[in-house]
Homo-oligomer: A and B are copies of this chain.
Amino acid sequence: MIVVVTPNPAVDVTYRVAEQTVGVTQRVLEVVRRPGGKGVNVARVLAAAGTATTSVLPLGGTSGAWVATALQQDGLTTAPVPVGGDTRTTVTVVDDHAHPTMYGEPGPVVSTDEWAAVTDAVRTAQRHATALVVSGSLPRGTDPGMVSPWIRGAVDAGLLVVADLSGPALLGAAAAGATVCKPNREELLDATGAPDERSGALDLLARGAGVVVVSAGSSGITAHTRDAVVTVPAVPDVHGNPTGAGDAATAGLVLALTAWGRRPTATLAPADLRHALVTAAAYGAAAVLRPVAGEVDLAAVDRFTALLDRTGSPT
């Protein structure tokens, strides 16, 4: 079982309109409402791949109640932590003409006591888990050090820990000894202030991260250890919806790494890392084929894995 923490879950609403125009009243032609947040997408993909998960997430208000119900209806196991503030909503407006427009609410302020309850929930859930994933933004005003005890506790308990975080929380996750830190390139450079990817990755490794995996969309995905840099190219000619592809890649990474049990990452050879990256890239590409975040085309995962195994080569 894999525990997935989503610190700032959301109700993701998508409105399809005839044509986006500022300053007018627009009839919404189609409404899609889904539980969102990066960790929620990761948990969905893990579940789709047949892996048991428990989603720990602070939820509040009627929007939070809706997220809890919707996740349960989708068959996901949840450990919701009640909070006083309302879970945020994001509204994405799409048409057939322009890029989507996304409106993101700031999200609730979660109190120190409420975060302590999240920490308790993580601790309880991880008792029967092989891995912990912490993924997504933190609600505004959250002490970024809040994630460190979750990560340290799971590492100490022998779990594989993957942290997809940004800013100071990413640095904290590395310092707490996360097995894998998985920022995208922009988040890595932004958090570390490093001039290039390798320097940024070395910074996180020096702080305590086991491996740093950097996703760069169509440029592929790279794993950094102190001694090795392994890159797997993206699957070519995949077109569709890139939203959630990074989260599917995280799920693929976790699936590949937990397939070997609880092996400490320090012993991962470049060939092992390469296999994990291939799995991650295949899941990411297979998510692009699906219209909504949190879904993957499992047949495409197999096809893309075979393709990358044939064409890619360790660098």
Residues of A participating in the B interface, judged by any CB pair closer than 8 Å: 13, 15, 17, 20-28, 31, 61-63, 65-66, 69, 89, 91, 93, 98-106
Smallest distance from the beta carbon of A204 to chain B beta carbons, Å?
26
Smallest distance from the beta carbon of A95 to chain B beta carbons, Å?
9
On whether A28 and B103 interact (CB within 8 A), knowing A22-B22, A63-B62, the answer reads yes
Chain A residues touching B, majority SS: mixed
Copies of the protein in its oligomer: 2
A93 contacts which of B17, B99, B103, B104 (Cβ < 8 Å)?
A: B103
A101 contacts which of B13, B24, B69, B104 (Cβ < 8 Å)?
A: B24
Chain B residue nearest in CB terms to A69? B62
Chain B residue nearest in CB terms to A89? B13
A105 contacts which of B28, B89, B93 (Cβ < 8 Å)?
A: B28
Smallest distance from the beta carbon of A63 to chain B beta carbons, Å?
7
| Known pairs A13-B89, A23-B101, A91-B103 / 4 extra A-B pairs, C-beta < 8 Å | A23-B100, A26-B104, A28-B106, A62-B66
Chain B residue nearest in CB terms to A102? B25
Q: Is the CB of A26 within 8 A of B63?
A: no
On whether A20 and B23 interact (CB within 8 A), knowing A28-B103, A65-B62, A103-B91, the answer reads yes
Smallest distance from the beta carbon of A306 to chain B beta carbons, Å?
35
Smallest distance from the beta carbon of A97 to chain B beta carbons, Å?
9
18 contacts between A and B (CB under 8 A): A13-B89, A15-B103, A15-B105, A17-B103, A21-B101, A22-B101, A23-B98, A23-B101, A24-B102, A25-B101, A26-B103, A26-B104, A28-B104, A28-B106, A62-B65, A62-B66, A62-B69, A91-B91
Cβ of A101: which chain B residues have Cβ within 8 Å of it?
21-26
Cβ of A22: which chain B residues have Cβ within 8 Å of it?
20-22, 98-99, 101
The CA of A20 and the CA of B27, in the complex, are separated in Å by 18
Q: Is the CB of B62 within 8 A of A106?
A: no
Chain B residue nearest in CB terms to A33? B86
Cβ of A106: which chain B residues have Cβ within 8 Å of it?
27-28, 31
On whether A26 and B105 interact (CB within 8 A), knowing A62-B62, A62-B63, A66-B62, the answer reads no
